[in-house]
Chains A and B, each alone.
Chain A
Amino acid sequence: MTRARVLAGTALAALLLGAVPALATPARPSGEREALELLQGAARAGTSMTYAGTQETVAWRGAEAGSRRAQVSHDPTRGSLVDAEQPVADTAALDPRLLVLLAANYTLSVTGPGRCAGRAASTVTATRADGSVAGRFWIDQASGLLLRREVLDGQGGRLRDSAFVSVAVGRSGSSTPTAAPALPSSSTLTELRARGWQVPPTLAGGFRLFDTSLTTPRPGRDVLHLAYSDGLSSASLFTQRGRLGSDPVAGFEPETVAGRRVWVHQAAPERVVWAGQDRVWTLVSDAPEPAVRAAVAALPGRDAPDVDDGGLLARFARGLTRLLGMLNPFD
């Protein structure tokens, strides 16, 4: 992670924070508005304050649980540094774009005081439409920092729990929001689609696209990353041009989802790989297993019949396209 990216991420978050209330606050009951304001304050504190501590993240997949401990330190100017053996997010870092999605998909309420890492906290609960609890947040009463977040499935079982075991909170920096949330613009999506990428705006289960990035880790090997979330759980869809070989994907088990052969790595987060239409897709998600399968089933990737692209007519069409491209002064 480069310093420039860290600074850019910090600056972006600072810019986004100010515009969240404009999107989410109006026409909400006072209890819900108070809960959202607490979370927005926590998002601001996560970027503007100095803090350091030890956090524990536990993820459940069925009967199995995996735990990761990390040392976290944050400074407003350089962002967060997370020291861990496995990738894990800073508990206190709340993406304001996800808060917008959280408020859109769940009912928020302040459910009383609590404690975390020896500090007094306010608790915010996110509830599904059926009344079941989907997530809880513990927010430090003294600093406004997010100390713990918990995600539960529809039956009340825990999916993830990320919390500070100990934390020291220091001074607060300045954060001046000036811009709207940077959800992907329609022009960005149009450009990606014009370049032949498939960009679903949503995934099954209420996941909405909130970020895109196109990288080229090796020459000619573009990777499109589409990030989706419902505010509590997230999913990243990676698309590459190419085909899977006949060999199994190392460490993955074959499975059939909606008639499609996929490769699954059951862990937290879960990874699903499949191929079709000269593309290879990788879905990484911390959502419950049924939600991941539903998302995969609805995504593209079925093989279309091969077309003969070596004929004279096809060659003429390719050449004509290139010729017109060369002659087009606006291209």
Chain B
Amino acid sequence: MTCLGDVVAALVDGELEHAAREKAQRHLAHCAGCRAEVEAHRRLKSRLGGAGQEPAPSDALTARLLQMRPPVEGARRSAPARPLATRPVTPRPFTPRAAAGPRRRLARRRAAVGSALAVLGIGAALALGGPPPTRPSTPLNPGSDVFVADFVSSTSDSGSVGGGR
């Protein structure tokens, strides 16, 4: 467990306010454990966002994720109230809600992408549908003598049937 706890996720997600972010970065400057945790979070976020599929995390990352503190209500919205270095962190038991955060985000992203594709598909179909086909116009002279010549020609191998053909 690292000193920063839930702040790591908030920091990686860019959800910390300016003062809290400054404080966390100052802490990272001299805490290798928290730097490693932040890096692990960033890699995880990068893989989730880039591949479009749920990645298979390494065993080490899975272990670290399982040991993470569950998020505290509102923790990502506010900065820690006490100095980070002097406050001992109490481990909390794992709850599914803690690990489900990235999954929920992934599900939301998938839903958003799916909705966007559906809208695009419907829009493309409507655009390609175009106006209704125009009613066929009056055809060539249906009583034409040309048809008679074609009829005579079809019944003969002669190649020529006269009549100016």
Contacts and interface: CB of A to CB of B under 8 A. Distances in A.
Contact of B157 (A13, A249, A250): A13
A284 B145 CA distance: 10
B105 to A, nearest CB: 31
A86 B163 contact: yes
Contact of B138 (A9, A244, A273): A244
B127 to A, nearest CB: 7
A252 B156 CA distance: 26
B136 A319 contact: no
A316 B126 contact: yes
A320 B129 CA distance: 7
A186 B148 CA distance: 27
A322 B129 contact: yes
Given A6-B159, A70-B162, A236-B150, A249 B129 contact: no
A286 B156 CA distance: 13
Given A263-B143, A269-B148, A284-B148, A90 B125 contact: no
B135 to A, nearest CB: 7
B124 interface: yes
B130 interface: yes
Chain B interface: which size bin? Answer: 35 or more
Contacts of B124: 319, 323
A87 interface: yes
Interface string A64-96: 000000101010001111111111111001110
A82 B140 contact: no
Given A314-B132, A317-B129, A242 B157 contact: no
A225 B130 CA distance: 31
A96 to B, nearest CB: 8
Point out which of B127, B150, B160 has the most chain A C-beta atoms below 10 A from its C-beta: B160
Interface residues of A, number: 76
B139 interface: yes
Contact of A319 (B127, B138, B139): B127
B161 A238 contact: no
B164 to A, nearest CB: 8
A84 B142 CA distance: 23
Interface in A291-331: 309-310, 312, 314-320, 322-323
Interface in A251-281: 251-252, 263, 265, 269, 271, 273, 278, 280-281
A128 interface: no
Task: Say what secondary structure dominates the interface of chain B.
Answer: loop
A259 B1 CA distance: 91
B94 interface: no
A4 B40 CA distance: 78
A87 B147 CA distance: 10
Contacts of A241: 136, 139
Given A284-B151, A319-B129, A242 B159 contact: no
Point out which of B121, B128, B131 has the most chain A C-beta atoms below 10 A from its C-beta: B128
B125 A238 contact: no
Contacts of B126: 312, 315-316, 319
A240 B26 CA distance: 83
A5 B159 contact: yes
Point out which of B136, B139, B144 has the most chain A C-beta atoms below 10 A from its C-beta: B139
B163 A85 contact: yes
A11 to B, nearest CB: 10
Contacts of B145: 87
A282 B146 CA distance: 11
Interface of A: 1, 5-6, 9-10, 12-13, 43, 46-47, 70, 72, 74, 78-90, 93-95, 98, 211, 217-218, 221, 223, 225, 227, 229, 234-236, 238, 240-245, 249-252, 263, 265, 269, 271, 273, 278, 280-282, 284-286, 309-310, 312, 314-320, 322-323
15 contacts: A9-B157, A10-B157, A13-B157, A72-B158, A81-B160, A82-B160, A82-B162, A84-B162, A217-B146, A238-B150, A242-B137, A310-B132, A315-B130, A318-B128, A323-B128
